[in-house]
Amino acid sequence: MDPIVLYVDGFWNSPYAFSVFVCLKEKGLPFETREVNLHEKAQKAPEFQAKSLTARVPVLEQGAFRLSESSAIVEYLEETFPPPRYAAMLPAAPRDRARARQIMAWIRSDLMPIREERSTHTFFYKNPVQPLSPAGRAAAEKLIAAASAFIPDGRTSLFDAFSVADADLAMMLMRLVGNDDPVPAKLRDFVAAQWQRPSVRAWVDHERAPYVPY
Ligand SMILES: N[C@@H](CCC(=O)N[C@@H](CS)C(=O)NCC(=O)O)C(=O)O
């Protein structure tokens, strides 16, 4: 097998690189990470641009094959390293699988005010935040309502077994939980449980260079 390389941002803040990193760890695949310093515009360097085509992280490299877009990478890993030999990253039942994909697509395309006002560096680096704007509060309410419906009562995972949608949803909720914004106990418990997973901890606890705003 060609060695796997995952390109991540230099501050280990990217929720999209996180998602792929968690999949690789959960599947037990050996891989190297390479940091791309977005604050220095390294994503626009010709060598990286040629690999990514989109000039964004994450990029998965396996020999001559390079792939951008975290959800495409997750699907590629799931098909290339499928269960039962490797851990499943998406539920097996079609409706649960569709629900996981719904959550993953939604998290990547909505809730912009939270993503802007509660960027992941705020909790990875404990950088101070302002109170949420009215748009931020509206997005937080939308996230809380949807997550409360997605997560079954009395459970700390979306489905019977872990899926990468759990990690993605926990990362989104952490933008609120990690900044002491009000979040119902059920969602705080969900985040706390997901944050304990070894694959998630490996990302959270990874050494980080001092943060430079950009
Ligand atoms: N939809 C993409 C989003 C990737 C993305 O926005 N990556 C950011 C880091 S979190 C990036 O590389 N930004 C640099 C840029 O756009 O110039 C995915 O899921 O992979």
Tens of pLDDT, residue by residue over 52-62, are 999 999 999 99
Task: Determine which residue's CA is closest to atom 12 belonging to ligand 1.
Answer: 56
CA gap 197, 107 in Å, rounded: 20
Task: Determine which residue's CA is closest to atom 11 belonging to ligand 1.
Answer: 56
Residue 131, C-beta contacts closer than 8 angstroms, at least 6 positions apart: none
Which of 86, 182, 93, 92 lies closest to 131, judged by CA? 182
CA gap 38, 156 in Å, rounded: 34
pLDDT of residue 79: 98
The whole-model pTM stands at 0.98
**Cα(37) to centroid(ligand 1), Å:** 12
Task: Determine which residue's CA is closest to atom 1 belonging to ligand 1.
Answer: 69
**Cα(85) to centroid(ligand 1), Å:** 30
Position in ligand 1 atom list of the atom nearest CA 71: 19
Task: Convert the pLDDT of each residue in 21-79 to its tens digit.
Answer: 999 999 999 999 999 999 999 999 999 999 999 999 999 999 999 999 999 999 999 99
Question: The tokens of 39 are what?
Answer: 């604050």
Neighbour-count burial of 204, counting CB atoms closer than 10 A to its CB (0-12 exposed, 13-18 middle, 19+ buried): middle
CA gap 73, 105 in Å, rounded: 13
pLDDT of residue 45: 98
CA gap 115, 121 in Å, rounded: 11
Rounded to whole angstroms, the maximal C-alpha distance in the chain is 50
Question: The tokens of 36 are what?
Answer: 């791309």
The CB of 168 under 6 Å from ligand 1? The reply is no
The CB of 57 under 6 Å from ligand 1? The reply is yes
pLDDT of residue 1: 87
Task: Determine which residue's CA is closest to atom 2 belonging to ligand 1.
Answer: 69
The CB of 12 under 6 Å from ligand 1? The reply is no
Determine the residue of 16, 39, 59 to mutate for testing ligand 1's pocket, defined as the one with the most ligand atoms within 8 A of the Cβ atom: 16
Beta bridge partners of 5: 32, 61
pLDDT of residue 23: 98
Q: How far is CA 164 from CA 35, 48, 50, 113, in A?
A: 22, 26, 28, 23
The CB of 25 under 6 Å from ligand 1? The reply is no
DSSP, collapsed to helix, strand or coil, labels residue 194 as helix
Q: Where are the alpha helices (DSSP H) in 110-156?
A: 112-117, 121-124, 134-150
Q: Note down pLDDT in tens along the chain; length 214 residues.
A: 899 999 999 999 999 999 999 999 999 999 999 999 999 999 999 999 999 999 999 999 999 999 999 999 999 999 999 999 999 999 999 999 999 999 999 999 999 999 999 999 999 999 999 999 999 999 999 999 999 999 999 999 999 999 999 999 999 999 999 999 999 999 999 999 999 999 999 999 999 999 999 9
DSSP, collapsed to helix, strand or coil, labels residue 31 as strand
- What DSSP designation does 184 have? -
DSSP, collapsed to helix, strand or coil, labels residue 25 as helix
Say what angle helices 70-80 and 15-27 make with each other, to 10 degrees.
10
Task: Determine which residue's CA is closest to atom 10 belonging to ligand 1.
Answer: 14
